[in-house]
Structure 1
Amino acid sequence: MPTSTRRTQQERRDQAEAALLAAAAELVVEQGVRSLTLARVGERAGYSRGIVTHHFGAKQTLVERLARATQAGFVPGLDGVAPGLDRLLRLIDGYLGALSSIGVFNQAFLLLWAEAPTQPELAPIFRERDDAFRADLRDDVEAGIADGTIDPGAAPDDVAVAVVGQLRGIALQRLLDPRSVDTEQLRRGVTGFWRRALSRPAAAG
């Protein structure tokens, strides 16, 4: 088979899978993961249930793929920033700032994360993601302690748990009642709080 034909088939497959995952994300946001079915996903995306089954096989596989697909970072552009207080504060500021225009995949991520404790197919995926998130934050705190910008009394594990809980909690409140959460005001206040809480006295200000 010519390479161009194979590429076209792969492109069509990728396009179909992207459309199905987008449809699944929309349905999770609108109706929750428990109401998700292969038939509904196919109908929303404009494909037959057979196509959905061909791509994912079963609902559990679809949910797992969706959970992984929605885990793209809320805050792009941090890859080139060295670990430390500056990166941690940029992450907090960027995360909260992004909530003002949160897309359907990130909305689905938050809803799936909230349901993970009662969904066996989701729990290990989100434990893994949360472990990675906390590890990045611990790296920032440890690097800041090492370079003298963060108070050596700060506990990296505790800071990581607190930051993840705060960011995700604010995000879920924003989904529930957008008018009650002023993300622009919060990003300044929360970022300032963590700057004051973590900075060494000599580095504060």
Structure 2
Amino acid sequence: MTQATLEAKPPRQTQAERRAESERKLLSAAADLVAEFGIAATTFEKIGERSGYSRGLVSQRFGSKDGLIAALVNDLTDQFESALVANHLDDLPPHEALIGYIDLYFSALWQRPTESAYHVLLAESIGAQPQLRPLFAAAHDKVRDRLREFIESAQRLGTIPKAVDADATALSVGALMLGMTIQSIVNPTTDIDRVRRSVVATLRLALQTPVA
């Protein structure tokens, strides 16, 4: 074996890296299957086949189907949080970060298929899978907290009036975002981008935020 061959050989993954990679692939396979077939038809066997791992590894990683679904909801929520970081929202003035957060959320709804795993899971939590509701309630509480933090920070800087009820406004905006998610499931032809532009313009007017 030549020196060049030795140098070209990729470094061996650590156990932690292999575990993280397998979990990413398992969750990605689970998300695809849930989006295509729903929760009931998403079995450990199908996840193993889709991901290239064994059914036993799915069980080992997540324990039960409820454990898998909980991990999937958390992973999908984390993906949106990662998108926020990638778009540097925390580097913006808080009133612009608030608008940017809402704009990014609606843009994601507009760009991704409404049959996405998150939408399917959310819809099933309202219907056949009520045990999922606490997971979504916790995820939506995080959204409410982040929106409230943006508003309160902007109030301290004077770019949103102090008379605005930060918590009630955060809850209202979060409910609007959730409602549009449901709307996109019920009617996939909804013009989400048109709604996005209207919501951003209306929110700027209501909160009296300066236009960038």
* The two structures share one fold, judged by TM-score above 0.5: yes
Match of 1:170 among 153, 167, 180: 180
TM-score, normalised by the number of residues in structure 1: 0.80
How large is the Cα RMSD of the aligned pairs?
A: 2.8
Match of 1:49 among 55, 64, 76: 55
The worse-fitting range, judged by mean Cα deviation, of 111-120 and 54-63 is 111-120
**Number of the residue aligned with 1:108:** 117
8 Å CA contact 1:21–1:66 kept in 2: the answer is yes
Gaps of 5+ in 2: 1-10
Q: Following TM superposition, by how much is the alpha carbon of 1:139 offset from its aligned partner in structure 2, in angstroms? A: 1.5
**Number of the residue aligned with 1:12:** 18
* Distance (Å, rounded) in 2 between the aligned partners of 1:125 and 1:170: 19
Aligned ranges 1:42-191 → 2 under 5 Å: 42-71=48-77, 72-73=79-80, 75-76=83-84, 77=87, 78-83=89-94, 85-102=95-112, 107-116=116-125, 119=129, 121-183=131-193, 185-191=194-200
TM-score, normalised by the number of residues in structure 2: 0.77
8 Å CA contact 1:196–1:204 kept in 2: the answer is no
* Distance (Å, rounded) in 1 between the aligned partners of 2:13 and 2:211: 58
Aligned ranges 1:193-204 → 2 under 5 Å: 193-199=202-208
8 Å CA contact 2:26–2:51 kept in 1: the answer is yes
One-letter code of the match for 2:49? Answer: E
Mark the CA change 1:30 to 1:19 in structure 2 (over 3 Å): closer, same or farther.
Answer: same
* Distance (Å, rounded) in 1 between the aligned partners of 2:116 and 2:174: 16
Q: Percent same amino acid among aligned pairs?
A: 34
* Distance (Å, rounded) in 1 between the aligned partners of 2:112 and 2:38: 17
8 Å CA contact 2:38–2:120 kept in 1: the answer is yes
The worse-fitting range, judged by mean Cα deviation, of 59-68 and 71-80 is 71-80
Match of 1:27 among 15, 33, 39: 33
8 Å CA contact 1:24–1:36 kept in 2: the answer is yes
